[in-house]
Amino acid sequence: MPRRRSVVAPDAPDDEGVRLARVDTWAGLRAGDEVDVLDERERRATFRFVAHVTNRVTSDTWVEVVGGRGAERRIRAFRPEQLYPARTVRNGVATGPSLADAPRLQI
């Protein structure tokens, strides 16, 4: 039997069958904003923010991004603490706090 996988906005009324809450804004980011990812396997790759996802059953969270090296475009998911503002990860070292620790504030 296939698993049921529903996606809704976090302000939608609770439904027993809805497991994932997916939003296209998070930590001052909007869909399409460029981000850096601190991951040894993803050095020299460029990514754009897609969505922040929360599993309502387990409370796990992750961030979906799209991108890769060169012309490669694939969707990846990372832990929130691995995402940084664009151009703050250099040579595999973060030069500032992650977006999970210090989100960009809207002015």
**pLDDT at residue 2 above 60?**
no
Domain 24-93 has CATH 2.40.160: no
Res 1: pLDDT? 38
- Give residue limits of the domains in the chain: 24-93
Res 84: pLDDT? 92
Nearest to residue 81, comparing CAs of 46, 39, 41? 39
Backbone angles phi, psi at 14, to 5 degrees: -60, 140
Predicted TM-score of the model (pTM):
0.76
Res 19: pLDDT? 92
**pLDDT at residue 91 above 90?**
no
Backbone angles phi, psi at 28, to 5 degrees: 85, 0
DSSP three-state, residue 11: coil
C-alpha–C-alpha distance, residues 33 and 29, integer Å: 6
DSSP three-state, residue 85: strand
DSSP three-state, residue 1: coil
